[in-house]
Chains A and B, each alone.
Chain A
Amino acid sequence: MDAEITLHVDGAEHRLTVDTRTTLLDALREHLEIISPKKGCDHGQCGACTVLLDGRRANSCLALAVAHDGTEIVTAGGLAENGDLHPMQRSFIEHDGFQCGYCTPGQIVSAVGMLEEVRAGWPSHVTEDLNVEEIVLDDDEIRERMSGNLCRCAAYANIVPAIREGSER
C-alpha cells in the first residue's frame, strides 16, 4: 500500500510516495538518494543508519517512513554549513577516526545528537551521580553514550579522541 508523505531532510522539503513498508532509511537512500545514512544491519544493532529526527538521534532502519511524515531530519551529509564542515566532522578527519568509513556518518551524527543530550544534562549508565547537574564528558561517558554505534574496523581508539575534541569546539 502506498502513502504520500513529506520529509524535511537537511533543510530541503521532499514530497514522496512510499510503500507503507518502507523504512526511513530506505526512503532516504532509495527514494531521495540521500546516502550518507548507511545500512549496516537493518535491525537496530549497529547505528550506521543514525540520523537526527526532530533533533534527536535515532536508528532510521527501524523507523517507518509513513510514521515520520512531516519530521525534520538531519543526516551526516547535512551537518556542514555553507560548505564548512561541522566541527565534529573536522575532528574525525584530524584524528583519523575511521578506516573504511562505512560507520562514520552514523558515528558523527550520533556524536552530534549525543552532545545535545549531554548539554540537556541527561545522565548515562556510567554517570556516577544520577542527580548531577552538569555532565562531565570523559572517555568512559563517550564510550557508553556511543555504544549504539559499532565500528567493524574497530577504529574506536581514534573515534573516542575525535569525539572528545569535537565536543570541545
Chain B
Amino acid sequence: MKPYSYQRAEDVDGAVAALVEQPNAKFLAGGTNLVDLMKLGVEEPDALVDVRRLTSDHVEDLDDGGLRIGAAVPNSVLAADRKIRTRYPALSQALLAGASGQLRNLATTGGNLLQRTRCVYWQDVTTPCNKREPGSGCSAIEGHNKNHAILGASEHCVATHPSDMAVAMYALDAFVVVHGPDGERRFPIEELHRLPGDEPQRDTTLEHGELITAVDLPPLDLAANSKYRKVRERASYAFALVSVAAALDVEDGVVRDVRIALGGVAHKPWRATKAEEALRGEPANEANFHAAADIELEDAQPLRDNAFKIPLARNIIARTLLDLSEER
C-alpha cells in the first residue's frame, strides 16, 4: 500500500480545509470500503482525514417532523433505531440486508452512501477500467457482467451502485446535508449519485472537500408502510443482484401515493418515477403493479450475462407492492 499521512481534524471546517489543501487526500470513516480498496491498490490517497468522530452519531428529530441521521451513525445503530423501525421500516430492512453484523458496526451512514462499485474489473488493477483509469476501456461491457447495470449505463461504464441503504433513502425522499469549502448545502439524495455518462470516474456530484454531515428523512406518512426486498445469490452476506424499496398508500383499493427505488440495476440507486406515475390513482392490484414495472423497465438494456435482472426486477417490484397493499 502506498504510504499516506493520517490526521484527525478538530472539526468539520478543519476536515474540509484539510482536503482543500491536499488534492489527493480522502476522508476516512469506518474504513470498510476505503481501506479495502487501498489494500487492492485501487484507491491511493496521500492523506487520510478521519471524520468518524467529527460528525454526529445520533438520529435526531427535525422540526418538520422528519429525522436527521448524523453521518457517523453506524449502519447497525441506524437499523435498530426505534423511530426508523416504526416510521421508515424499509430503511431498517435495507441496512439489515447489507454486509454482516461486524461490518455494520464499523460502517457509517456517510461512508455507506459513498461506497464504490463492486465491479470486479474496477477492483482488479491489472484490467482496463474507465472508472479507475479514464480512457483505458471498460472490461465489463464484453466481459463478465452478470452483476452490472441494465438501466442508465453508458458505453464507458456499466457498473452498479452496491448500497442497500441508499436504495431505501431514495425511495424515502431523503435529503443529503453537505459541508464544503463554500459552506453548507442540502439537496435531494437523487442529486448525490451520477449516471456514468462519459465521466465514469465520478460516482457523485460532490466536489473535492465536500463532507456529508447528515441525511434528513422528511416526514412521509406512507413511509410507515414501506418495505425493502433484496435478491442475492446466498441467503445472507452478499450484495444484491436486484433489490427494491417501496412505500405505498392505498385507499379504497386505489393507489393514493407510492415510492419505488431499485438497487443493483444502475450506476446509482434507481428511482422508478415512471412506475410511480403510472400507479397513482389506479387500482392497487397485481396486474397494475406488473404493468407499472414494465413501464419502468421499458428502457432496460441487458448485457450478455444479466438479462435475468429484467424479469427479476419486474417480479420483485410487483411482489413488494402486493405485500404492502395487503399489509395495510
Tell me whether A57 and B79 are in contact (CB under 8 A): no
* A residues 92-118 touching B (CB-CB < 8 Å): 110, 113-114, 117
Q: Which of A1, A110, A122, A145 is in CB contact (< 8 Å) with B4?
A: A1
Tell me whether A1 and B6 are in contact (CB under 8 A): yes
Tell me whether A56 and B105 are in contact (CB under 8 A): yes
Tell me whether A1 and B31 are in contact (CB under 8 A): no
> Contacts of B74 on A, CB cut-off 8 Å?
56
Report the Cα distance A130→B99, complex, angstroms.
18
Of all chain A residues, the one with the shortest Cβ separation from B35 is A62
Q: Which of B6, B35, B38, B101 is in CB contact (< 8 Å) with A145?
A: B101
- A122-B6 contact, Cβ under 8 Å, with A57-B101, A63-B106: no
Total interface residues on B, CB under 8 Å, equals 38
Of all chain B residues, the one with the shortest Cβ separation from A150 is B237
Of all chain A residues, the one with the shortest Cβ separation from B123 is A43
* B residues 70-94 touching A (CB-CB < 8 Å): 74, 76, 79-80, 82, 85-86, 89, 92-93
> Contacts of A57 on B, CB cut-off 8 Å?
101-102, 105
Q: Is A125 an interface residue (CB 8 A)?
A: yes
- A67-B39 contact, Cβ under 8 Å, with A47-B102, A120-B80: no
Tell me whether A123 and B36 are in contact (CB under 8 A): no
> Contacts of B99 on A, CB cut-off 8 Å?
148
Q: Which of A1, A19, A59 is in CB contact (< 8 Å) with B106?
A: A59
Compute the total of residue contacts between A and B using a CB distance below 8 Å.
116
> Contacts of A20 on B, CB cut-off 8 Å?
3-6, 48
- Number of chain A interface residues as a range: 35 or more
Tell me whether A59 and B32 are in contact (CB under 8 A): yes
Tell me whether A148 and B102 are in contact (CB under 8 A): yes
Tell me whether A62 and B86 are in contact (CB under 8 A): no
Instruction: Give the distance to chain B from A65, nearest Cβ to Cβ, in Å.
Output: 10
Tell me whether B36 and A62 are in contact (CB under 8 A): yes
Instruction: Give the distance to chain B from A44, nearest Cβ to Cβ, in Å.
Output: 6
Tell me whether B6 and A64 are in contact (CB under 8 A): yes
- A64-B97 contact, Cβ under 8 Å, with A1-B6, A125-B236, A147-B237: no
> Contacts of B36 on A, CB cut-off 8 Å?
43-44, 62
Report the Cα distance A44→B40, complex, angstroms.
13
Report the Cα distance A9→B198, complex, angstroms.
49
Report the Cα distance A21→B48, complex, angstroms.
10
- A1-B92 contact, Cβ under 8 Å, with A63-B31, A144-B236, A147-B100: no
Instruction: Give the distance to chain A from B171, nearest Cβ to Cβ, in Å.
Output: 16
Report the Cα distance A47→B100, complex, angstroms.
9
- A62-B32 contact, Cβ under 8 Å, with A1-B5, A21-B3, A57-B105: yes
Hey, which bits of chain A sit against chain B, CB under 8 A? 1, 3, 19-21, 23, 42-44, 47, 50, 53, 56-59, 62-64, 66-67, 110, 113-114, 117, 120-125, 127, 130-131, 143-149
13 A-B pairs with C-beta separation under 8 A: A23-B35, A44-B102, A47-B100, A53-B105, A56-B105, A59-B102, A59-B106, A62-B31, A62-B106, A113-B101, A113-B105, A122-B80, A143-B236
Known: A67-B52, A144-B236. 11 other contacts (CB 8 A): A1-B5, A1-B6, A19-B3, A62-B35, A63-B31, A64-B6, A66-B6, A122-B76, A125-B236, A147-B101, A148-B101
Hey, which bits of chain B sit against chain A, CB under 8 A? 1, 3-6, 28, 30-32, 35-36, 38-39, 48, 50, 52, 74, 76, 79-80, 82, 85-86, 89, 92-93, 96-97, 99-103, 105-106, 235-237
